[in-house]
Amino acid sequence: MGQTPSTPLSDCLNAVCNGRNDCVAFPDHPLYQASWVNRYNLDIPVEPIAVTRPDNAQDVSNFIKCAVANNVKVQPKSGGHSYANYGVGGQDGELVIDLVNLQDFSIDTNTWQASIGGGTRLSDVTNKLHKNGKRAISHGTCPGVGIGGHATIGGLGPSSHGSIKRASEKENSDLFFALKGAGAGFGVITEFVVKTHPEPGNVVQYSFSLTFSKHSDLVPVFQQWQDLISDPNLDRRFGTEFVMHELGAIITATFYGTEEEWKATGIPDKIPVGNVSVVVDDWLAVIAQQAEDAALWISELRVAFTAKSLAFRPDELLSPDTISTLMNYIDDAKRGTLIWFLIFDATGGAISDVPMNATAYSHRDKIMFAQGYGVGIPTLNQNTKDFVSGIMTTIKSGSAQTLTTYPGYVDPSLTDAQASYWGPNLDALGVIKSKWDPNDLFHNPQSVRPAETD
């Protein structure tokens, strides 16, 4: 524990810890920033009023009660991958609840439902499910992301003002709606109960790498890829990314099926011919390869970086003119770094089968996301910030629509972040916030705010 002078808040937090080591730290702790706060984006500083590490749901509840009693805002952390460090307070003076110790896991072999602690990272989720019946759930590729942030797009959940609640489709259903896409404003999830599936059998993994003298050479390749992913009849067993970087581009893809089924889809004839596709029947090997691909641009390293993103409906995709303008912009811009990436992800599929108002997640009509990253080593310069901003400005200037983005890709520069993140669901979320957290205890600079009441 830190040696901070006694205050009502520190006394309360220390009382919850009851003498346990590594339970709470204050800003005067010698390793406070390096170990306890542990920012993901070193370009954005933040100093919480304290960082706590609860051992169970009751600890979480008691820490929150301390915050309420002392008029301090709360932000949980389940992985620490918030681009704007919202998972470590978001802004100075907030209380961080780090869920790193909430690692419990169990699985019911009758229902195949798994109970997963809110601090579990995705790599551990995969391994625990594999060891308990070779089960799997759908999740992203970065192994260091915590399930709390990943499952709620923000890292938070059903605990308000220190009370412990269960949220499901039948119990506290309005809160459950909010947690599935806008958790950052509603509480701290200490446990997830998820439906699991058998691990996939054969999986085809595809990659195509190319280098070139200038990025404008990519215009026809990107157009071909975008035409493929915008096909409304695209086989749902197929997922893919198009990644541009300083020296070239990489197209990666995963197909859940056999090589014969892969060929039968016709996709191999519509995607650039590259490296030989590899058929894998080991699910852990598939996850490892995806993580290796992701490590090209999302690593466990804490560095200074800038990131921006956009989301696209079918009618918002890049026109041929916009693609050309974008590639020319990249060629001519002062990038300020050799470490940058522009990643296009295909989405849609079964995600679009769920009604827009079924959960807080408001991007079910999107079929593609773009993410731009610029990394500064050791520091981030203005040229890199301007370069990444210019990518998105160039794309938006070619669209007649107002493009929005996904709340997991936090961008502190957005002028109306809540509308961009939650769109048509924002009004409903504000009403739910007013019921469950009217004083905005669970807060970051871009979280849902309580609706104004008469």
CATH of the domain at 144: 3.30.465.10
Name the residue range of residue 339's domain. 203-415
Do residues 340 and 227 share a domain?
yes
Domain assignment of residue 172, yes or no = yes
Do residues 168 and 224 share a domain?
no
> Total structural domains in the chain?
2
Tens digits of pLDDT across the chain (454 residues): 445 678 999 999 999 999 999 999 999 999 999 999 999 888 989 999 999 999 999 999 999 999 999 999 999 988 777 888 887 777 899 999 999 999 999 999 999 999 999 999 888 998 999 999 999 888 776 777 888 888 887 432 222 335 677 888 899 999 999 999 888 789 899 999 999 999 888 888 888 888 888 999 999 999 999 999 999 999 999 999 999 999 889 898 889 898 899 999 999 888 876 555 677 777 777 777 776 665 544 556 788 999 999 999 999 999 999 999 999 999 999 999 999 999 999 988 888 888 888 899 999 999 999 999 999 988 899 999 999 999 999 999 999 889 999 888 889 999 899 999 999 999 999 999 999 999 999 999 999 999 987 6
Domain assignment of residue 292, yes or no = yes
Do residues 154 and 207 share a domain?
no
Do residues 179 and 210 share a domain?
no
Do residues 236 and 143 share a domain?
no
Cβ atoms of residues 173 and 144 within 8 Å:
no
- Can you tell me the distance from the alpha carbon of 180 to that of 59, in angstroms, rounded to the nearest whole number? 24
Whether a cis peptide bond, with omega within 30° of 0, leads into 378 is yes
Do residues 259 and 365 share a domain?
yes
- Can you tell me the distance from the alpha carbon of 32 to that of 22, in angstroms, rounded to the nearest whole number? 11
Do residues 269 and 364 share a domain?
yes
Cβ atoms of residues 84 and 412 within 8 Å:
yes
Do residues 180 and 220 share a domain?
no
Domain assignment of residue 380, yes or no = yes
User: What is the model's pLDDT at position 3?
Assistant: 57
User: What is the model's pLDDT at position 160?
Assistant: 31
Break the chain down into helix, strand, coil percent, rounded to 5.
35, 20, 45
Do residues 220 and 149 share a domain?
no
Do residues 216 and 353 share a domain?
yes
Do residues 254 and 180 share a domain?
no
Do residues 211 and 178 share a domain?
no
Domain assignment of residue 315, yes or no = yes
Cβ atoms of residues 112 and 195 within 8 Å:
yes
Q: Give counts: helices (H), strands (E), the chain.
A: 12, 18
**How many C-beta neighbours within 10 Å does residue 386 have?**
17
User: What is the model's pLDDT at position 156?
Assistant: 27
